[in-house]
Amino acid sequence: MLLDLVTKMPERYKEMQYMELVKRAAAVKERFGDRLFIPGHHYQKDEVIQFADVTGDSLQLAQMASSRQQAEYIVFCGVHFMAETADILAADHQKVVLPDLRAGCSMADMADINQTERGWEKLQQLFGDTILPVTYVNSTAAIKAFVGKKGGATVTSSNAKKMVQWAFEKKERLFFLPDQHLGRNTAYDLGIPLASMAVWDPIHEKLEFEGDLENVKVILWKGHCSVHMNFRADHIRKLRSEEPDVAVIVHPECTREVVALADDAGSTKYIIDTIKQAEKGSKWAIGTEMNLVNRLKDSFPELEIRSLNPTMCPCLTMNRIDLPHLTWILESLEKNEIYNQISVDKETSRYAKMALDKMLSL
Ligand code: 13P
Ligand code: SF4
């Protein structure tokens, strides 16, 4: 039974004690067994992560979504674009549910399909058929489908370098959506000078570039992650002046200036792997979402771990998935009441899958 998409969680779940919620969620999970699969992104809260069958970064979760064919329900603990990706890759009999529909991603929302189509037209007029679009998985299914239709692919922060290299084998120029910072950091690491990178401003429908257009190699969509923008160069400078022995590691959604100043940069998986291998007693300042930084801090007490931004940086939309919503969704599923199902239409799904498959096959 598919119910009203905007049904709100009943108040009683908000009032339940933590231990009661834990007991109820665990009991439903146990009764469902393999019929239920709960993937959880690294940025999710601990109260939710404790119920995740797998945790991972965007790439790992995209890969795992299609590998649990026996699961009738995929309850995705992450944000909307991740649940859409899971639905695109899932089999027809599987239903994907997002515990709270308000868990969106402000970066994904910065690239709207109509803006993208208009931008593409203008770029074709400027550069002709020399551009391949690629999109960070942090984008809507409609953007992924647009990219798939044009022969492009999706990328994640774990494989962006490989995918950008692949794209340059196909076309002379790249249109990178929607995160200008991941695009800029990746292209820079591959040896493309900043002077060859233009920015497409979708609001003013304008290309920001000074110089000869012939030199443009990468066109970056003017989008960003509002969480990672909170890690700034002055945080690194201040830290270095006070404690020069602290190593700084940041996510590539941070600005070029921050990534250039940091000791290291990489996806959430890369950050976790680096911390796992760190020398006992070493000191770290991490530039990524607060829940992950706190989890690393708790899991590795032999290291000195802190957030690069002392006021911490939560992703407010990720944090909308909480234990009350998860418990409500699980108990509803058991009553055959499906709330917050994420279902991408067939046409969009077909083209978006083409873009995702290109990435997954590489
Ligand atoms: P990764 O999980 O790919 O590192 O991305 C971080 C992120 O911002 C997800 O929204
Ligand atoms: Fe989106 Fe940034 Fe939150 Fe990731 S951390 S979901 S990119 S707003």
* CATH number, domain with residue 236: 3.40.50.10800
Among 80, 156, 273, name the best residue to mutate to test ligand 1's pocket (greatest count of ligand atoms within 8 A of Cβ). Answer: 156
| 276 contacts 296 by C-beta, under 8 angstroms | no
317 C-beta closer than 6 A to ligand 2:
yes
Q: Are residues 98 and 128 in the same domain?
A: no
136 part of a folded domain: yes
- The closest residue, in CA terms, to atom 2 on ligand 1 is 57
- The closest residue, in CA terms, to atom 6 on ligand 1 is 268
Q: Are residues 119 and 219 in the same domain?
A: yes
Q: Kindly give the distance from the C-alpha atom of residue 268 to the centroid of ligand 1, in angstroms, as a whole number.
A: 6
Domain limit, last residue, from 169, 198, 226: 226
Q: Are residues 99 and 112 in the same domain?
A: no
Q: Which domain holds residue 34?
A: 11-104+317-343
Across the strands, what pairs with 36?
Answer: 73
The count of structural domains within the chain is 3
3 part of a folded domain: no
Closest ligand relative to 105 C-alpha:
2
Residue 17's Cβ-count burial label (10 Å; 0-12, 13-18, 19+) is: exposed
- Provide the pLDDT for residue 312: 76
356 C-beta closer than 6 A to ligand 2:
no
State CA 216 to chain mean position distance. 27
58 C-beta closer than 6 A to ligand 1:
yes
3 state DSSP class of 309? coil
Instruction: Indicate whether 1 pLDDT > 80.
Output: no
User: Which residues, 6 or more positions from 176, have their beta carbon under 8 angstroms from its beta carbon?
Assistant: 134, 135, 136, 164, 182, 183, 186, 187, 218, 219, 220, 221
Q: Are residues 289 and 334 in the same domain?
A: no
Reported as a pLDDT band with limits 50, 70 and 90, residue 7 is: confident
Q: Are residues 260 and 192 in the same domain?
A: no
226 C-beta closer than 6 A to ligand 2:
yes
Tens digit of each residue's pLDDT (9 = 90 or more) over 209-247: 999 999 999 999 999 999 999 999 999 999 999 999 999
Tens digit of each residue's pLDDT (9 = 90 or more) over 125-135: 999 999 999 99
- The closest residue, in CA terms, to atom 1 on ligand 2 is 105
* pTM for this entry: 0.95
Joined tokens for residue 234:
């002055």
Q: Is the dihedral of CA 112, 108, 125, 351 positive or negative?
A: negative
